[in-house]
Amino acid sequence: MSELSTPLLDKHRELGATIVDFAGWQMPLRYTSDVAEHHAVRTAAGLFDLSHMGELMVTGPDAAAALDYALVGHMSRMKLWAAKYTMICTPQGGVLDDLVVYRRDWEHFMVVANASNRETVVEELRARIAAGGFDAEVADETAAIALIAVQGPRAVDIVTAMCEIGAEDPPALKYYTAANVLLHGGMHAFVARTGYTGEDGFELFVPADLAADVWDLAVAHGADAGLVPCGLASRDSLRLEAGMPLYGNELSRDRSPFEAGLGRVVNFGRADGPERGDFVGRDTLAAVKGSGTAEVLVGLVGEGRRAARAGYTVVDADGATVGVVTSGLPSPTLGKPVAMAYVARSHAEPGTELAADVRGRREPMRVIALPFYRRGA
């Protein structure tokens, strides 16, 4: 994969960010402290550059029908300006990527893919459109679009202040909906009330050549609200606390949505509702739903201070291996180690006492229902 640069790379360097390679992109890992950036999002607001995410436009008379076939969600039922979390699966039921789809017009959808899977998703969408004979096209507009997120309890105030007209739009937006807004300086943005932190927040899709101006606008209007730039490290700890899966950790070609506890995103249609046609992986996923899975994704909370990391073994009271950790770290909000892990269904009941093998030492952990953190709770 070729190395790509966010249009905000110079801005991140000016701010002293630690820059790392992430899925072929040069991206900020942190600016100051992972924990400080994490707490800023939980208490005030954080500013994220997410320009590495893929923006794929699916358009044409059969765009909705094509996505119905290509994805596990019933996309043709989406209303205008709605957003929907969904997945693209293999015929064997494994997850190729998890996606957020926005309906920008009746024949225009924007599919947001993970950076590491963007090329795969483009190829699969095009192949499935061709296989089904749909009148639709896929355009990869990632390089032309920057994605900037404002996340946290003060996000709505900051984004509202950034608007020139339609200033009432951000507060009026419901969760997982979007709108076109005009920002100060005459800049247009497609703004969605979506995010990956467990907090209220907004994601602003803007032309790449306006990214620096929009970033500066957010900084200017967020200064008094406690807004701080945040890197990929704090984004990971925030999403883990919120129990949100990460592709390559909780999601993969070897796991179905049902194993990940996300079977709800697979829409087979209802006997009392609209018909749902065939989609890639339908038969396999229906069989998995009917038979259940041997392993399930659970949350683990540690009793000590040592965190279990991805790949660490999970064992029962007798020392027998019952699972594997997919993500883990010390939770800045809870003050305890937390992890997500796939464990045998027989050991997945909340309250079950297990342990993680942390470099040869068993660290006691208890199964809990996800998420670890829920805002307002």
According to the model, what pLDDT value does residue 271 have? 59
Q: Are residue 279 and residue 348 in the same domain, yes or no?
A: no
Q: For the residues 308-331, what does the mean pLDDT come to?
A: 97
> Per-residue pLDDT tens for 243-257?
999 999 999 999 999
Q: Which of 237, 258, 290 is the last residue of a domain?
A: 290
Domain extent at residue 44? 1-290
According to the model, what pLDDT value does residue 253 have? 97
According to the model, what pLDDT value does residue 273 have? 59
Q: Are residue 201 and residue 332 in the same domain, yes or no?
A: no
pLDDT band at 168 (very low <50, low <70, confident <90, very high): low
Residue 165, pLDDT above cutoff 70: no
According to the model, what pLDDT value does residue 212 have? 98
Q: Are residue 74 and residue 189 in the same domain, yes or no?
A: yes
Q: For the residues 257-278, what does the mean pLDDT come to?
A: 86
DSSP of 270-299: -TTS------TTHHHHHHHHHH--SEEEEE
Assign residue 351 the CATH number of its domain.
Answer: 2.40.30.110
β-bridge partners, 171: none
β-bridge partners, 221: none
How far apart (Å, rounded) are the C-alpha atoms in residues 164 and 213? 14
pLDDT band at 297 (very low <50, low <70, confident <90, very high): very high
Q: Which of 290, 320, 346 is the last residue of a domain?
A: 290
Query: How much is the mean pLDDT over the chain?
Result: 95
How far apart (Å, rounded) are the C-alpha atoms in residues 245 and 23? 17
Q: For the residues 266-279, what does the mean pLDDT come to?
A: 80
Q: Are residue 199 and residue 344 in the same domain, yes or no?
A: no
The candidate with the shortest Cα–Cα distance to 329, out of 230, 249, 213, 266, is 249
Residue 166, pLDDT above cutoff 80: no
Residue 205, pLDDT above cutoff 50: yes
Q: Are residue 208 and residue 341 in the same domain, yes or no?
A: no
- Contacts within 8 Å (CB) and 24+ apart, 271-274: 274/74, 274/77
> Per-residue pLDDT tens for 211-222?
999 999 999 999
Percentage of the chain surpassing pLDDT 70?
97
Assign residue 127 the CATH number of its domain.
Answer: 3.30.1360.120
Q: Are residue 84 and residue 223 in the same domain, yes or no?
A: yes
Q: Which of 252, 272, 290 is the last residue of a domain?
A: 290
Q: For the residues 363-368, what does the mean pLDDT come to?
A: 97
Q: Are residue 246 and residue 351 in the same domain, yes or no?
A: no
According to the model, what pLDDT value does residue 164 have? 87
Q: Are residue 174 and residue 309 in the same domain, yes or no?
A: no
Report DSSP state, residue 261: T
Report DSSP state, residue 193: S
Written as one letter, the residue type at 74 is H
Tally of domains within the chain? 2
Q: Are residue 255 and residue 336 in the same domain, yes or no?
A: no
DSSP 3-state assignment of 132?
Answer: helix
How far apart (Å, rounded) are the C-alpha atoms in residues 25 and 146? 13
According to the model, what pLDDT value does residue 78 have? 97
Q: Are residue 120 and residue 197 in the same domain, yes or no?
A: yes
Q: Are residue 254 and residue 302 in the same domain, yes or no?
A: no
Residue 1, pLDDT above cutoff 50: no
Q: For the residues 60-81, what does the mean pLDDT come to?
A: 97
Q: Are residue 329 and residue 284 in the same domain, yes or no?
A: no
Q: For the residues 132-144, what does the mean pLDDT come to?
A: 98
Report DSSP state, residue 309: -
DSSP 3-state assignment of 79?
Answer: coil
Residue 17, pLDDT above cutoff 60: yes
> Per-residue pLDDT tens for 115-130?
999 999 999 999 999 9
According to the model, what pLDDT value does residue 206 have? 98
